Amino acid sequence: MRSMKRFRFNHFRSEIRADFRSPAVFCCSLLALFIAGGPALIGQEMNQSESVSAETPVGAAEPVTAAEIYGEGVRSTGHRTPAEEMAGFHLPPDFEIRLFASEPEIAKPLNMAMDSEGSLWVTDSVAYPYPVALDEEGPDSIKVLKDTDGDGKADSIRMFADGLNIPMGVLPYGDGCLCFSIPNIWYLRDTDGDGKCDERQIVLGPFDTTRDTHGMINSLRDGGDGWIYACHGFSNQSRVAGTDGHLVTMVSGNTFRFRPDGSRVELHTRGQVNPFGMTRDEWGYWYSADCHSKPISQLVAGACYPSFGLPHDGLGFLPPMMDHLHGSTAISGIHFFPPDSMVVPLRNCFISGNVMTSRLNWNQREFVGATAKGRALPDFLTSDDPWFRPVDIQVDKQGNIYVADFYNKIIGHYEVPLEHPGRDRTSGRIWQVRYTGTAIDGDESTSEEQRLVSKIRMSHDGNADTMSLEQIRGLLMHDNAHIVRMSAECIGRRGDATDVAGLVATLSEVDEADVVLRQTIRIAIRNLLQLASDDDPFWDSAPDAETTSIMLGLKRNEVVEPILAYLTTAMQVKGEQAANRALFGHAVSLAKPHQLGACVALAKQLAGSNTEQAFDWLHLISDAAGFQSASVPTSIRSWAMQLIEAEWNELTVADDIPVAWFGFDEKNWSTERRLTHVAASAEERDVFAELVSSFPLGETYTGTIASDWFEAPEQIRFRVAGHNARPGQINPESNFVRLVSAKTGEVLRQVLPPRSDVAKLVVWETHDVVGQLVRIEAVDGDSGTAYAWLAIGDFMPGRLSPTGSSRRWARALEWIERLELFEFEGRLKGLLVDEQFGPLTRLGFASTEANLKGQAGLSTLAQFVSAEIGQVDLAESIVDAIASERWEAVEPLKQLGPHLNASQQRKLALNWIASGADPAVLFSVIESGAYAAQVLVDPDVQQAMEPKLDEALRNQVRELTEGIVVDSGRIEKLSQLLASIRNVDGDTVKGKAVFTKHCQTCHQLHGEGSLVGPQLDGAISRSVERLLEDVVLPDRNIDQAFRTQSLLLDDGRVLVGLIASQDDEVIRLTTSDGKTQDVRVDDVEARQASQRSLMPANLSELMTERELVDLMAYLKSSSGN
C-alpha cells in the first residue's frame, strides 16, 4: 500500500482548498498535518475541525411567533398573503428573498426541477392528499416557470401538462419531461414544439399508492450515467419491472434507479421511511432527506438504512451521517452546494426544508475518508408564518435558490385527519433566495480525482472502453478514499469471486471510522459471492472473520459449511459471541437436512457441560430452522430430550426440593456478591454472601419477586441489603421484604432494607404460624435514580433461597410443549400431586399437561393464576381439575372472575383469545355476571376476537355490550390528566424512567429506543394536550402504516401486531411489546386489517397519574428534545 501520509495530504487538500485563501494559513495547516505524522489507515481522517472550517456562521434570526405555535398540528394562526408571508422571513446577512410565483398561477407545489435553459418545472396539485379514481382525469398539472427579465419573478408561466393525479417527481428530459403521476412514471412529450404535452408514455408502473399519498415517487434525478434516480416514499409496497422483466420490490422508503426508456429498474438503496428530496455532491454521492429518520443520509448503492420495524439485509444498517434531528422528523427537499458554488457562505453545505418547524436547516459536510458527516449550523431561513412549508429546493446556474412552499395550516397525515376542513388546497408559493454578498472565486469545479471517480462510475455497466476491470482493480491501492470506494463498487458489479481476496485485503486497511468505504467493500464482496456458482472454488476455502460476517447477507446454502468451519475455531473468541451466534443461526436457517447434524454437533461442542448454554444453542437452532413440532429432525429432538431429562432429574431428586421464586415481569433479578461483614483490621477478611438483587436492572426499575407458597418453619433467617431513597431523605418505605399468609393475605412480618450496601441479618421467629402456608415477597417500589434497590438471600432453611428453579422448570416445560414430547405426560401427572412442590410450581406442570392434551382454556387459566393472582385455593382447584382431566373450563373461569379487577379481566380475555381457547366459553361466563361486559368493548380485545367470531357469536357480543359507551372513561381521564399537568411540575428524570419502561420498546427519542413506531424527536414539538391524547386514546389519529392486523392461525391462536415485512413464505409480525415473530404464511387461516394502533389501548392505565405527568415533562424537556 502506498504511503498513507500521501493519502492523508491528497484527501485533506481536496476537501479544504475552498476554505484556505491565505498561503500562510495553508502552510500552517500543512505543518500541523505533518506534525501529526505517522502512518494512517485508508479512510482515517483528522478531526472534524481540521477537515473544514469550524467557524460557525451567522444564521437566520428566530421568528417572532411563539415557539409553541410550530408544535401545533393545526396552526392556530391565520392565512397570510404572499406579501405578508415574505415580510416575516429571516435570512443570514448577504441574502435576500423574493416571491417567484404564487397562487392563483400555481396551486400546491410538490417537486421542482431546473432545465438547461433556466426554466423551472413544477408539479402542483389541488387534489392532494385525495387521488382521483384511476379511470378519471385528474385536476393537477405540470407548469413551466421562467423569469425572462431577471427581476426574480416568474413572468412566463405555461401549462405543460394537465389532467394529472397528484404528480410529484419531475425531470426535464428529451422533448418533454419524466414525471410521476398516480400510478405510473410517465414520459410526457411535446412532439410538435408548441410547449405543451401531446403524447404520454408509461415508463414504469403501476406503483402502489393505496396506503399513502404524501410520499410516493419523488425527486427524479439524472445521474448522468444513463440512469434516472428516484425516491420511493412512505408505507406503499410496490412491485415494478422494466421491459427486461427484472422485478423490484419496494416496501416503504427506498431509492431506486431506472433507464429512461423503462427497459430496466434496479433497487439503489433499501430502507429509510419516507425519503423526500435528493441531491448530489462533487464526488458523485447522492444524499436524501427523510421525513422520518435522519435529516440527511449519504446513499451507498446496495446499502440498507433503518426503517420502522424492518430488518436489515444481514450486513447491518449503514450508520447515520448525523445524530441531530433539527427538532423535527418532517424533512422535505435538500440541496448541496459544492466547494465552487457561487453562494459562498453555503459552500460544502446542505440546506433542507423542515415543514414542521417552518424553516430551512443548514448543515456543513465533513468527510472522514469516504464517509460524509453532517455538522449542524444555525438555521438558514426562518419564518414568522407557521404556514410556511418548504417541500423542495432547487438552485439555478446563477446560484439563486428556489423554495417550494406547500403553504398550509396542516401538514401531517396521521397527526391530523385527512378530511380536516382546515387543509388548504389552493395556496402555494415559490420563493427565490439570492446571495448578495461578495463573490469569491472557488476552485476548479472538478479535480483530477473527481474526474477519475466519474470515469470509474461510467464503467460500472461493463463499458471496457471507459476503463478495464484490471485498471479498476489497481485503484484499490489508491490513496484517495473516494476513488477506492468507487472502484470497490465497480468491482462488485463487474468482477467475480476471485476479486474477493483483493477486496478483503483492502478492507483490512480501512479505518473503522470510514463506515461508508467499509460498507461499500462489504457490499461488493456480498454481490460477488451472491453470483458465484455453487461449484466455485471459493466455497472450499477457509474464510476469515470479515468474509464470514459478510455471509450474513447471503441467502444461499453454500455459506453453511464455510460458516461452520469458521465457527469451529472462532466461537470462543471473547467479545465476538453475539456476532458468532448470528452467524450460527444464519447457517442453521440455510442448512439442508443432512447438514443439521453438523450444526447440532457444533452446538453441543460449544455448550460442553453448561446446561444453560446448551438450551440457549438449542433455542437458536430451533428458531433459525423454523421447524413445526411434527417435523423436528431426530438430531434436534434427541438433544432436547437429553437436556430435559438431565434437568428433570436435577430438579426432582433433591432430598429437600427448593422453593421456587417467581418474578412478576419478564425481568429477572440477578445474583450478586454482597458484603455481609466489613473487616475491621488487616487480620480480618471481608465476608460476602450471594444475594438476588434488583440493582443490575437499574435503580429506576420497580418490580416484585416472590416465593412459591410453603409451610412456615419455626424460624426464617436471611440477609437483606439495599436502600429507600438517598441518605438523609425521609424513608418512603417503598422497598421492603414481607411474609404473607396464604389463608388471610395478612402481612405477618415485614422488614425494610438497611439503607446500606452491606447486607444485614434478619431473623423472623415464626412459631405462631408453623405449618401454615406462607410466601416471601421482595418488593422494589422505589423508582428513584439512586439509592433505590433491594437485594435478599442467604436463607435458612436453605431451601428458601432463590435458586432459579422456576426458570429452569419453565424452560424444560416450554420445550416439552414446543416439541410435543408426549413421553413426559405420565411424569407430569405425577408431579401434579407431589406436594414437595408448591402450588404455583404445580400450576406450571398443569399448564403444560393441559396443552399436551389440547386444552388451551385450562392451560391459560393455570398460567394466569400463577402469574397474576397466586392464590392458593384457585391454584389448587385448577391443578386438581387438570390432574383429574376435568376439561370443562366454565366453572374454573367463573371461580376466578370475582378475584380480578378490570385490568386483570381485560388481560385474561386477551390471553384466552390469543391461546386459541373457545370464545363462547368466555362469553358465557360474562353473561353469567362473573365478568364485566365492558371487557368486550376494549379495542384490543375486540381486535383479537374479531377473526374468531361467526354470526352467532357476533350477535352474542352485540347483545352483551348493548348500551356500553366506548372510550367514555378514557375521555374523562384525559380531561383529568390535562388539569393535573397544568397544575403540577413534572420530574424529567423520573419521566425518562417511565419512557424507558413503557415507550422505548417501540419508539425512539434522542437516539434511544427502537424504530417500531414513529420516532418522537419530531412528535415532541406537539402540544402536551396532543401528546396526552396519543397516550390515552392511541387509536384516534393513526396512519395506515401503523395500523395493526389480526392473524388467525390454523391452530386457533390469534396474533395481533404490525406487519413489519412479508414475502410469499413468511410474515414478520411486531407485537405491542416491541418483539418480532415470524409466522409461516401457510399457517395463517385468516387475517384482518384494523384501524387500530399497535400501542395498547390501556397504556395510560399502566401508569399512575404522576408517572404520566413526569413522562410529559420528559418529552417536552431539552434533554429529550
pLDDT at residue 1019 in the model: 59
Asked whether residue 567 is assigned to any structural domain, the reply reads: no
Strands (E), 369-480: 371-383, 390-395, 401-405, 429-435
Mean pLDDT rounded to a whole number for the chain? 88
Does 330 lie in the same domain as 201? yes
Q: Beta partners for 1069?
A: 1059, 1077
Check which CATH number belongs to the domain holding 790 and give it: 2.60.120.260
Does 715 lie in the same domain as 676? yes
Asked whether residue 742 is assigned to any structural domain, the reply reads: yes
Asked whether residue 486 is assigned to any structural domain, the reply reads: yes
Check which CATH number belongs to the domain holding 399 and give it: 2.120.10.30
Q: Is 280 helix (H, G, I), strand (E, B) or coil?
A: strand
pLDDT at residue 1002 in the model: 81
106 touches 159 (CB < 8 A):
no
pLDDT at residue 20 in the model: 31
**The three grid cell numbers given for residue 481, joined into one nine-digit string:** 478514499
* Pairing outcome for strands 756-765 and 747-751: unpaired
Asked whether residue 672 is assigned to any structural domain, the reply reads: yes
pLDDT in tens, 785-827: 899 999 999 999 999 999 999 999 999 999 999 999 999 999 9
pLDDT in tens, 865-882: 998 888 899 999 999 999
Does 221 lie in the same domain as 94? yes
What's the number of CA atoms in the CB half-sphere (13 Å) around residue 1115? 31
Does 124 lie in the same domain as 87? yes
124 touches 109 (CB < 8 A):
yes
Amino acid 268 reads H
- pLDDT of residue 121 exceeding 60, the answer is yes
Strands (E), 712-845: 715-722, 735-741, 747-751, 756-765, 773-780, 790-796
Does 307 lie in the same domain as 171? yes
pLDDT in tens, 885-924: 999 999 999 999 888 888 889 999 999 999 999 999 999 9
Q: Which of 163, 109, 161 is nearest to 138 (CA)?
A: 163
pLDDT in tens, 341-357: 999 999 999 999 999 99
Work out the number of other CB atoms within 10 angstroms of the CB of residue 499. Answer: 20
Separation between Cα atoms, residue 477 and residue 479, nearest integer Å? 7
User: Of 435, 456, 490, which marks where a domain is finished?
Assistant: 435
User: Is residue 443 packed enough to be buried (19+ CB in 10 Å), middle (13-18) or exposed (0-12)?
Assistant: middle
Asked whether residue 938 is assigned to any structural domain, the reply reads: yes
156 touches 122 (CB < 8 A):
no
User: Is residue 989 packed enough to be buried (19+ CB in 10 Å), middle (13-18) or exposed (0-12)?
Assistant: middle
Q: Which of 108, 353, 354 is nearest to 213 (CA)?
A: 108
| Span 423-434, average pLDDT | 96
Q: How far apart are the first and last CA of the chain?
A: 46
What's the number of CA atoms in the CB half-sphere (13 Å) around residue 1021? 25
Q: Which of 869, 872, 828 is nearest to 847 (CA)?
A: 828
Separation between Cα atoms, residue 168 and residue 185, nearest integer Å? 10
Asked whether residue 14 is assigned to any structural domain, the reply reads: yes
Specify the residue for cell string 438547461: 116
Sign of torsion over alpha carbons 31, 32, 33, 39: positive
pLDDT in tens, 496-515: 999 999 999 999 999 999 99
Domain count, the chain: 6
Does 378 lie in the same domain as 230? yes
- Which one is predicted more confidently, 117 or 33? 117
Domain containing 885 equals 821-960
pLDDT at residue 629 in the model: 75
What's the number of CA atoms in the CB half-sphere (13 Å) around residue 1101? 17
pLDDT at residue 1041 in the model: 66
Does 388 lie in the same domain as 519? no
Asked whether residue 696 is assigned to any structural domain, the reply reads: yes
User: Is residue 647 packed enough to be buried (19+ CB in 10 Å), middle (13-18) or exposed (0-12)?
Assistant: buried
Does 1004 lie in the same domain as 928? no
pLDDT in tens, 277-302: 999 999 999 999 987 768 899 999 99
Asked whether residue 609 is assigned to any structural domain, the reply reads: no
Check which CATH number belongs to the domain holding 495 and give it: 1.25.40
User: Is residue 116 packed enough to be buried (19+ CB in 10 Å), middle (13-18) or exposed (0-12)?
Assistant: exposed
Q: Which of 316, 315, 277, 314 is nearest to 294 (CA)?
A: 277
- Which one is predicted more confidently, 592 or 987? 592
Q: Which of 480, 487, 488 is nearest to 454 (CA)?
A: 487
Does 982 lie in the same domain as 843? no
- With b for 16 or more beta-carbon neighbours within 10 A and e for fewer, the 784-796 pattern comes to beebbbbbbbbbe
Per-residue CA distances from 294 to 7, 60, 319 (Å): 31, 22, 10
CA-only gyration radius of the chain, Å: 33
pLDDT at residue 39 in the model: 41
Percent of the chain whose predicted confidence (pLDDT) is above 90: 65
Q: Report cis status (omega within 30 of 0) of the bond before 206.
A: yes
- With b for 16 or more beta-carbon neighbours within 10 A and e for fewer, the 334-366 pattern comes to bbbbbbbbbbbbbbbbbbbbbbbbbbbbbbbbb
Q: How confident is the model at residue 309 (pLDDT cuts 50, 70, 90)?
A: confident
| Span 639-667, average pLDDT | 90
Residues ≥6 apart with Cβ < 8 Å to 950: none
Does 937 lie in the same domain as 1004? no
pLDDT at residue 1080 in the model: 84
Q: Is 89 helix (H, G, I), strand (E, B) or coil?
A: strand
- Which one is predicted more confidently, 589 or 1092? 589
Q: Which of 473, 387, 483 is nearest to 429 (CA)?
A: 387
Q: What distance lies between CA 714 and its chain's CA centroid?
A: 54
454 touches 463 (CB < 8 A):
no
User: Of 413, 435, 457, which marks where a domain is finished?
Assistant: 435
User: Of 502, 537, 554, which marks where a domain is finished?
Assistant: 554
Does 455 lie in the same domain as 538? yes
Q: Is 250 helix (H, G, I), strand (E, B) or coil?
A: strand
Please state which of the ranges 252-266, 402-416, 432-446, 832-846 shows the lowest mean pLDDT.
Answer: 432-446
| Span 715-727, average pLDDT | 95
Q: How confident is the model at residue 1032 (pLDDT cuts 50, 70, 90)?
A: confident
Does 871 lie in the same domain as 953? yes
Percent of the chain whose predicted confidence (pLDDT) is above 70: 91
